[in-house]
């Protein structure tokens, strides 16, 4: 005698199949969303496939006020890690920032982009030293630093590194990443600029982002 599945069992099987298909479709759509470009086509910036969330942090600005993740929200932020005794890379990068900032000001969108210099040499880069150094390039630029306990989790999250050499003759060197980080108005890392920097192309990218 042949047995047939009950009507209720057939309905349950179809419901399970429909749920499985829906779950698979949802996963597929979710993956497509994660893999979707976070930024429009850009000339100089390297865009990540998806934005990267950043951990909370607290550093000290050159004026003594705190710099936190909340300060990177509501506008585009361009961040560079270095130190004031840097002989070449840091002053060259900040000179580029100055040129890019002027282009953005000429385009009327400078208020939508902020430039931040973070020192990884807090022992020598005191608030006064930072203020003078960064102020030479622009008084609109933000300067900040902090202890390694605050700097290292942030640099690791951003995919950057820094190391200090052994002191010699009363001084020491600092090696650090030369890339510039791009933060979106939600406070997420969405890409970076790699050297050598082209001020015109960087400004064009930031102007395009600021206009959206």
Q: Where are the alpha helices (DSSP H) in the chain?
A: 7-35, 89-106, 127-137, 148-158, 199-211
At residue 38, the pLDDT reads 56
How many CA atoms does the CB half-sphere of 22 hold within 13 Å?
6
pTM: 0.82
pLDDT (tens, 9 = 90+) of the chain, 212 residues, equals 444 444 444 444 443 343 333 333 333 334 334 444 457 899 999 999 999 999 999 999 999 999 999 999 999 999 999 999 999 999 999 999 999 999 999 999 999 999 999 999 999 999 999 999 999 999 999 999 999 999 999 999 999 999 999 998 879 999 999 999 999 999 999 999 999 999 999 999 999 999 87
Q: Where are the alpha helices (DSSP H) in 44-180?
A: 89-106, 127-137, 148-158
Phi, psi (rounded to 5 degrees) for 65: -80, 155
């Amino acid at each position: 005698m042949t047995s047939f599945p009950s009507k209720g069992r057939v309905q349950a099987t179809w419901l399970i199949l429909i749920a499985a298909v829906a779950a698979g479709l949802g996963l597929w759509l979710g993956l497509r969303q994660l893999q979707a470009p976070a930024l429009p086509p850009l000339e100089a910036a390297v865009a990540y496939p998806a934005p990267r969330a950043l951990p909370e942090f607290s550093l000290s600005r050159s004026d003594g006020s705190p710099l936190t993740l909340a300060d990177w929200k509501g506008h585009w932020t361009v961040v560079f890690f270095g130190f004031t005794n840097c002989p070449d890379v840091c002053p060259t990068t900040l000179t580029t920032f100055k040129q890019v900032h002027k282009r953005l000001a000429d385009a009327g969108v400078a208020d939508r982009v902020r430039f931040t210099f973070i020192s990884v040499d807090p022992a020598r880069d005191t608030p006064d030293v930072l203020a003078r150094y960064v102020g030479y390039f622009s008084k609109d630029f933000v300067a900040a630093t902090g202890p390694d306990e605050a700097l290292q989790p942030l640099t690791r999250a951003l995919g950057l590194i820094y190391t200090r050499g052994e002191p010699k003759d009363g001084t020491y060197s600092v090696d650090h990443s030369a890339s510039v980080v791009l933060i979106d108005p939600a406070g997420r890392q969405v890409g970076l600029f790699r050297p050598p920097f082209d001020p015109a192309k960087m400004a064009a990218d930031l102007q395009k982002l600021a206009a959206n």
